[in-house]
Amino acid sequence: MLSFIVRRLLIAIPTLLAIITVCFFLMRAAPGGPFDAEAPVPPEILANLRAAYNLDKPLVVQFADYLGGLLKGDFGPSFKYKDFTVTELIAQGAPISAQNGLAAIVLAIVVGIPLGIMAALRQNSGTDHVVMGAAMTGIVVPNFVIAPVLILVFAIWLKDTPFQLPAGGIGDGGVINRVLPVFCLSLVYIAYLARITRASMIEALRHNYVRTARAKGLPYRTVVARHALKTALVPVVTFLGPATAFLLTGSMVIETIFSLPGIGRYFVQGALNRDYTLVMGVTILSASLILAMNLLVDVVYAWLDPRVRYE
């Protein structure tokens, strides 16, 4: 197992380098620049700005300088947020995005997986149809539609009632300010987890070893919990890996709608403002988390399924 982890970490280095390279040159190839504004900037000032941020150098030289900074842990200065480095901006937004994302993924696991198991154990029943119908609704209705509706209901219609919730903002950082964003973040993942768990559990219950366990007279709950569930969770874990990485780095839509100063909102603003270094920093963070979560998923495979070996 240790040698497998080391190999995966070594493979992750060129993978991350390829992602950095592609994103760097794609950002520069897009029309516009970080200092394009509605009011024309005098050529002398524009030239000074480009020189201050090394944008007057050839792209290859800029890329080499950027990689050199990354090796030192420096993501560079932000082009739009004056007096802030990208590292400082990520440090400000990461805790908010991570807290909301972690709460959302926990809620999705606690709600989605049991619903999927319940639907699988009662296949083709009324409960199954209701759960799958609700899951399909959660998938097809985008969160940029659900979020404004929830704001309308809980912030406006239920104003001055015990059920009133803040429409947005971080406030004092309390739980009440996180309820609507976390619910909106988790809703689609609850739906996906319910559907994946149901399909996987139905397949697991049809395996020969499960039938053998039932034929030996083991209680049905024991068969489900000890024999079928671990196998059924393999596709679920596969889905949870990149989903967790995505949620921990913030949702661009949700953080924009609820005015949360998280990484996702910084990414949107950086892309709109052509803030090259900020977009690159968030992209590198997201890619690193995805690579790490995929490695964790592979490790969990060996625990869920004894047949998986990495020697």
d(CA 17, CA 39): 37
pLDDT computed for residue 311 by the predictor: 56
pLDDT computed for residue 82 by the predictor: 79
pLDDT computed for residue 14 by the predictor: 92
Q: What single string gives the DSSP state of each residue in the chain?
A: -HHHHHHHHHHHHHHHHHHHHHHHHHHHHSSS-TT--SSPPPHHHHHHHHHHTTTTS-HHHHHHHHHHHHHTT---B-SSSTT-BHHHHHHHHHHHHHHHHHHHHHHHHHHHHHHHHHHHHTTTSHHHHHHHHHHHHHHHS-HHHHHHHHHIIIIIITTTSTT---SSS-TTS-GGGTHHHHHHHHHHHHHHHHHHHHHHHHHHHTSHHHHHHHHTT--HHHIIIIIIHHHHHHHHHHHHHHHHHHHHT--HHHHHHTT--SHHHHHHHHHHTT-HHHHHHHHHHHHHHHHHHHHHHHHHHHHH-TT----
Would you state the structure tokens that stand for residue 141, as one six-digit string? 């209705």
- Domain boundaries defined on the chain: 2-71, 89-304
Residue 77, beta-bridge partner list: 85
pLDDT computed for residue 306 by the predictor: 64
pLDDT computed for residue 22 by the predictor: 94
Cβ pair 210, 221 in contact under 8 A: no
Residue 305's closest CA among 249, 237, 241, 234?
A: 234
Which architecture does CATH list for 89-304?
A: Orthogonal Bundle (1.10)
Q: To 10 degrees, the CA torsion angle through 267, 268, 271, 275?
A: -50
pLDDT computed for residue 310 by the predictor: 59
Cβ pair 263, 15 in contact under 8 A: no
Residues of the chain with pLDDT under 50: none
d(CA 279, CA 62): 16
d(CA 49, CA 137): 50
pLDDT computed for residue 182 by the predictor: 92
pLDDT computed for residue 37 by the predictor: 62
Cβ pair 238, 304 in contact under 8 A: no
In angstroms, the first-to-last Cα distance of the chain is 7
